Structure 1
Protein backbone atom coordinates (compact mmCIF):
# COMPACT_ATOMS: atom_id res chain seq x y z
CA UNK A 1 0.00 0.00 0.00
CA UNK A 2 1.40 3.41 -0.95
CA UNK A 3 1.93 5.86 1.85
CA UNK A 4 -0.45 8.81 1.74
CA UNK A 5 0.85 12.31 2.61
CA UNK A 6 -1.36 12.34 5.70
CA UNK A 7 0.13 9.07 7.04
CA UNK A 8 2.83 8.98 9.68
CA UNK A 9 6.03 7.31 8.51
CA UNK A 10 8.07 5.01 10.73
CA UNK A 11 10.97 7.44 10.42
CA UNK A 12 11.94 10.82 9.02
CA UNK A 13 15.41 11.82 7.86
CA UNK A 14 15.98 15.55 8.07
CA UNK A 15 18.84 17.95 7.54
CA UNK A 16 20.07 17.52 11.11
CA UNK A 17 18.33 14.58 12.78
CA UNK A 18 16.64 11.29 12.12
CA UNK A 19 13.30 10.89 13.92
CA UNK A 20 12.21 7.29 14.52
CA UNK A 21 8.93 5.99 15.93
CA UNK A 22 9.40 3.21 18.48
CA UNK A 23 7.46 -0.01 18.01
CA UNK A 24 3.78 0.73 18.54
CA UNK A 25 4.18 4.53 18.43
CA UNK A 26 2.45 5.04 15.09
CA UNK A 27 -0.42 2.83 16.25
CA UNK A 28 -0.68 4.85 19.47
CA UNK A 29 -1.00 8.00 17.33
CA UNK A 30 -4.01 6.62 15.45
CA UNK A 31 -5.56 5.50 18.74
CA UNK A 32 -5.09 8.96 20.30
CA UNK A 33 -6.35 10.64 17.12
CA UNK A 34 -9.76 9.01 17.66
CA UNK A 35 -10.38 11.74 20.27
CA UNK A 36 -9.96 14.51 17.67
CA UNK A 37 -12.91 15.69 15.58
CA UNK A 38 -12.93 13.37 12.55
CA UNK A 39 -13.33 16.34 10.19
CA UNK A 40 -10.00 17.72 11.44
CA UNK A 41 -8.03 14.46 11.57
CA UNK A 42 -6.25 14.80 8.20
CA UNK A 43 -5.14 18.39 8.74
CA UNK A 44 -4.21 17.58 12.33
CA UNK A 45 -1.99 14.74 11.12
CA UNK A 46 -0.42 16.88 8.38
CA UNK A 47 0.45 19.47 11.03
CA UNK A 48 1.94 16.82 13.34
CA UNK A 49 4.05 15.51 10.44
CA UNK A 50 5.20 19.07 9.72
CA UNK A 51 6.24 19.42 13.36
CA UNK A 52 8.20 16.14 13.19
CA UNK A 53 9.91 17.33 10.00
CA UNK A 54 10.87 20.64 11.68
CA UNK A 55 12.46 18.64 14.48
CA UNK A 56 14.28 16.43 11.95
CA UNK A 57 15.58 19.49 10.13
CA UNK A 58 16.86 20.98 13.38
CA UNK A 59 14.61 24.03 13.15
CA UNK A 60 13.86 25.91 16.35
CA UNK A 61 10.95 24.46 18.31
CA UNK A 62 8.95 26.65 20.68
CA UNK A 63 8.58 25.64 24.31
CA UNK A 64 4.83 25.56 23.71
CA UNK A 65 5.02 22.98 20.93
CA UNK A 66 8.06 21.07 22.26
CA UNK A 67 8.00 21.29 26.08
CA UNK A 68 10.33 19.40 28.42
CA UNK A 69 8.10 16.79 30.04
CA UNK A 70 9.86 14.37 32.37
CA UNK A 71 13.10 12.74 33.46
CA UNK A 72 14.74 9.88 31.62
CA UNK A 73 16.39 7.02 33.52
CA UNK A 74 20.10 7.50 34.21
CA UNK A 75 22.88 5.42 32.72
CA UNK A 76 25.42 4.00 35.18
CA UNK A 77 27.78 6.79 36.21
CA UNK A 78 25.61 9.52 34.71
CA UNK A 79 25.44 12.58 36.94
CA UNK A 80 23.23 15.00 35.04
CA UNK A 81 19.54 14.27 34.64
CA UNK A 82 18.31 14.12 31.03
CA UNK A 83 14.73 14.82 30.05
CA UNK A 84 12.30 13.77 27.38
CA UNK A 85 10.12 16.22 25.47
CA UNK A 86 6.65 16.23 23.97
CA UNK A 87 5.68 16.99 20.42
CA UNK A 88 2.63 18.90 21.54
CA UNK A 89 -0.33 19.43 19.30
CA UNK A 90 -3.29 19.91 21.63
CA UNK A 91 -4.91 17.56 22.60
CA UNK A 92 -2.21 15.03 21.56
CA UNK A 93 1.36 14.59 22.72
CA UNK A 94 4.14 12.48 21.31
CA UNK A 95 6.87 11.78 23.87
CA UNK A 96 10.42 11.71 22.52
CA UNK A 97 14.09 11.94 23.46
CA UNK A 98 17.41 12.61 21.77
CA UNK A 99 19.38 9.36 21.77
CA UNK A 100 22.91 8.95 23.03
CA UNK A 101 23.15 5.41 21.63
CA UNK A 102 22.15 6.48 18.10
CA UNK A 103 23.81 9.79 17.15
CA UNK A 104 21.59 12.47 15.63
CA UNK A 105 18.44 10.43 16.34
CA UNK A 106 15.26 11.29 18.19
CA UNK A 107 13.00 8.43 19.20
CA UNK A 108 9.26 8.96 19.61
CA UNK A 109 8.13 6.57 22.34
CA UNK A 110 4.37 6.90 21.96
CA UNK A 111 1.47 9.31 21.59
CA UNK A 112 -1.37 10.03 23.96
CA UNK A 113 -4.58 12.00 24.04
CA UNK A 114 -4.11 14.41 26.92
CA UNK A 115 -6.84 16.61 28.34
CA UNK A 116 -5.07 17.19 31.67
CA UNK A 117 -1.91 19.00 32.80
CA UNK A 118 0.05 16.50 34.89
CA UNK A 119 2.37 13.94 33.37
CA UNK A 120 0.98 10.46 34.09
CA UNK A 121 3.20 7.85 35.73
CA UNK A 122 2.24 5.33 33.03
CA UNK A 123 3.67 7.67 30.36
CA UNK A 124 6.92 8.16 32.29
CA UNK A 125 7.13 4.36 32.63
CA UNK A 126 6.43 3.75 28.94
CA UNK A 127 9.06 6.28 27.81
CA UNK A 128 11.51 4.78 30.35
CA UNK A 129 10.90 1.25 29.06
CA UNK A 130 11.46 2.32 25.44
CA UNK A 131 14.53 4.32 26.47
CA UNK A 132 16.05 1.32 28.32
CA UNK A 133 15.32 -1.00 25.39
CA UNK A 134 17.13 1.35 22.98
CA UNK A 135 19.76 3.16 25.04
CA UNK A 136 20.81 0.30 27.33
CA UNK A 137 19.98 -2.80 25.31
CA UNK A 138 20.62 -1.47 21.78
CA UNK A 139 17.27 -2.73 20.46
CA UNK A 140 15.81 0.00 18.27
CA UNK A 141 13.42 -2.21 16.28
Structure 2
Protein backbone atom coordinates (compact mmCIF):
# COMPACT_ATOMS: atom_id res chain seq x y z
CA UNK A 1 0.00 0.00 0.00
CA UNK A 2 1.17 3.52 -0.64
CA UNK A 3 2.35 5.59 2.27
CA UNK A 4 0.29 8.63 3.16
CA UNK A 5 -3.06 7.14 2.17
CA UNK A 6 -5.83 7.71 4.68
CA UNK A 7 -6.41 4.45 6.57
CA UNK A 8 -10.08 5.17 7.44
CA UNK A 9 -11.18 2.76 4.71
CA UNK A 10 -10.14 -0.13 6.98
CA UNK A 11 -12.97 0.74 9.41
CA UNK A 12 -15.58 -0.13 6.79
CA UNK A 13 -14.05 -2.02 3.90
CA UNK A 14 -17.37 -2.55 2.08
CA UNK A 15 -18.56 1.07 2.13
CA UNK A 16 -15.07 2.26 1.19
CA UNK A 17 -15.13 -0.18 -1.74
CA UNK A 18 -18.39 1.39 -2.96
CA UNK A 19 -16.98 4.91 -2.67
CA UNK A 20 -13.69 4.03 -4.36
CA UNK A 21 -11.69 4.74 -1.19
CA UNK A 22 -10.61 1.15 -0.50
CA UNK A 23 -7.22 0.90 -2.22
CA UNK A 24 -7.19 -2.87 -1.96
CA UNK A 25 -10.12 -3.40 -4.37
CA UNK A 26 -9.04 -5.18 -7.54
CA UNK A 27 -12.37 -5.21 -9.35
CA UNK A 28 -16.12 -5.30 -8.97
CA UNK A 29 -17.65 -8.73 -9.51
CA UNK A 30 -21.22 -9.96 -9.73
CA UNK A 31 -21.52 -10.57 -5.96
CA UNK A 32 -19.12 -8.02 -4.53
CA UNK A 33 -15.58 -6.75 -4.69
CA UNK A 34 -12.38 -8.73 -5.20
CA UNK A 35 -9.63 -7.19 -3.07
CA UNK A 36 -5.94 -7.96 -2.72
CA UNK A 37 -5.07 -9.12 0.79
CA UNK A 38 -3.44 -6.76 3.27
CA UNK A 39 -0.65 -9.27 3.78
CA UNK A 40 1.18 -11.03 0.97
CA UNK A 41 3.44 -13.59 2.66
CA UNK A 42 1.54 -15.99 0.39
CA UNK A 43 1.63 -13.93 -2.82
CA UNK A 44 -1.75 -13.49 -4.43
CA UNK A 45 -3.87 -13.71 -1.27
CA UNK A 46 -7.23 -12.05 -1.94
CA UNK A 47 -10.54 -11.38 -0.21
CA UNK A 48 -14.06 -11.30 -1.65
CA UNK A 49 -16.22 -8.64 -0.01
CA UNK A 50 -20.00 -8.71 -0.62
CA UNK A 51 -21.83 -5.57 -1.72
CA UNK A 52 -23.37 -5.21 1.73
CA UNK A 53 -22.84 -6.71 5.15
CA UNK A 54 -24.45 -10.07 5.75
CA UNK A 55 -23.83 -12.02 8.93
CA UNK A 56 -23.39 -15.30 7.05
CA UNK A 57 -23.59 -17.01 3.69
CA UNK A 58 -26.97 -18.44 4.66
CA UNK A 59 -28.45 -14.95 4.72
CA UNK A 60 -28.13 -14.79 0.94
CA UNK A 61 -30.83 -16.23 -1.27
CA UNK A 62 -29.79 -19.16 -3.47
CA UNK A 63 -28.96 -17.00 -6.49
CA UNK A 64 -26.82 -14.61 -4.41
CA UNK A 65 -25.08 -17.56 -2.74
CA UNK A 66 -24.31 -19.13 -6.10
CA UNK A 67 -22.90 -15.86 -7.39
CA UNK A 68 -20.77 -15.32 -4.28
CA UNK A 69 -19.33 -18.83 -4.38
CA UNK A 70 -18.73 -18.62 -8.14
CA UNK A 71 -16.93 -15.29 -7.73
CA UNK A 72 -14.85 -16.76 -4.91
CA UNK A 73 -13.81 -19.62 -7.20
CA UNK A 74 -12.98 -17.23 -10.06
CA UNK A 75 -10.61 -15.37 -7.76
CA UNK A 76 -9.04 -18.70 -6.82
CA UNK A 77 -8.62 -19.73 -10.44
CA UNK A 78 -7.00 -16.38 -11.24
CA UNK A 79 -4.57 -16.83 -8.34
CA UNK A 80 -3.60 -20.30 -9.58
CA UNK A 81 -3.01 -19.01 -13.12
CA UNK A 82 -1.13 -15.84 -12.19
CA UNK A 83 0.84 -17.01 -9.17
CA UNK A 84 1.46 -20.63 -10.17
CA UNK A 85 0.07 -21.74 -6.83
CA UNK A 86 -0.12 -25.44 -6.04
CA UNK A 87 -3.69 -25.04 -4.79
CA UNK A 88 -6.04 -22.51 -3.23
CA UNK A 89 -7.64 -22.59 0.20
CA UNK A 90 -11.00 -20.88 0.67
CA UNK A 91 -12.07 -19.63 4.09
CA UNK A 92 -15.30 -18.03 5.27
CA UNK A 93 -15.31 -17.35 8.99
CA UNK A 94 -16.72 -13.99 10.06
CA UNK A 95 -15.34 -14.34 13.58
CA UNK A 96 -13.07 -11.30 13.80
CA UNK A 97 -14.80 -9.18 11.15
CA UNK A 98 -18.35 -10.31 11.87
CA UNK A 99 -19.71 -10.13 8.34
CA UNK A 100 -19.61 -12.40 5.32
CA UNK A 101 -16.35 -12.26 3.38
CA UNK A 102 -14.18 -14.96 1.84
CA UNK A 103 -10.42 -15.34 2.14
CA UNK A 104 -8.78 -16.90 -0.92
CA UNK A 105 -5.28 -18.13 -0.06
CA UNK A 106 -2.78 -19.59 -2.50
CA UNK A 107 -0.66 -22.47 -1.23
CA UNK A 108 2.80 -23.14 -2.61
CA UNK A 109 5.24 -26.01 -2.90
CA UNK A 110 7.94 -23.77 -1.41
CA UNK A 111 6.09 -23.43 1.91
CA UNK A 112 7.76 -25.25 4.82
CA UNK A 113 6.61 -28.89 4.94
CA UNK A 114 5.24 -28.46 8.46
CA UNK A 115 2.95 -25.66 7.20
CA UNK A 116 1.47 -27.43 4.17
CA UNK A 117 -1.11 -29.59 5.98
CA UNK A 118 -2.24 -26.74 8.23
CA UNK A 119 -4.53 -23.74 7.68
CA UNK A 120 -2.75 -20.47 6.88
CA UNK A 121 -4.10 -19.01 10.12
CA UNK A 122 -1.51 -21.09 11.95
CA UNK A 123 1.37 -19.15 10.44
CA UNK A 124 3.24 -17.07 13.06
CA UNK A 125 1.74 -13.69 13.96
CA UNK A 126 4.68 -11.81 12.40
CA UNK A 127 3.63 -13.08 8.95
CA UNK A 128 0.35 -11.21 9.46
CA UNK A 129 1.69 -8.05 11.10
CA UNK A 130 5.29 -7.49 10.00
CA UNK A 131 5.55 -4.66 7.46
CA UNK A 132 7.84 -6.76 5.26
CA UNK A 133 4.88 -9.01 4.36
CA UNK A 134 2.27 -6.28 3.86
CA UNK A 135 0.91 -5.42 0.44
CA UNK A 136 2.83 -2.66 -1.34
CA UNK A 137 2.18 -1.20 -4.77
CA UNK A 138 5.91 -1.09 -5.40
CA UNK A 139 6.39 -4.81 -4.81
CA UNK A 140 3.01 -6.27 -5.82
CA UNK A 141 1.65 -3.94 -8.54
CA UNK A 142 2.47 -6.25 -11.45
CA UNK A 143 0.94 -9.31 -9.78
CA UNK A 144 -2.15 -7.28 -8.87
CA UNK A 145 -2.56 -6.11 -12.48
CA UNK A 146 -2.26 -9.68 -13.75
CA UNK A 147 -4.83 -10.87 -11.19
CA UNK A 148 -7.20 -8.09 -12.27
CA UNK A 149 -6.86 -8.97 -15.94
CA UNK A 150 -7.27 -12.68 -15.32
CA UNK A 151 -10.35 -12.17 -13.12
CA UNK A 152 -11.87 -10.04 -15.90
CA UNK A 153 -11.20 -12.76 -18.48
CA UNK A 154 -12.71 -15.43 -16.23
CA UNK A 155 -15.77 -13.28 -15.55
CA UNK A 156 -16.33 -12.89 -19.30
CA UNK A 157 -16.37 -16.69 -19.64
CA UNK A 158 -18.44 -17.35 -16.52
CA UNK A 159 -21.14 -14.71 -16.89
Q: Same fold (TM over 0.5)?
A: no
More strand by share: 1
| TM norm structure 2 | 0.28
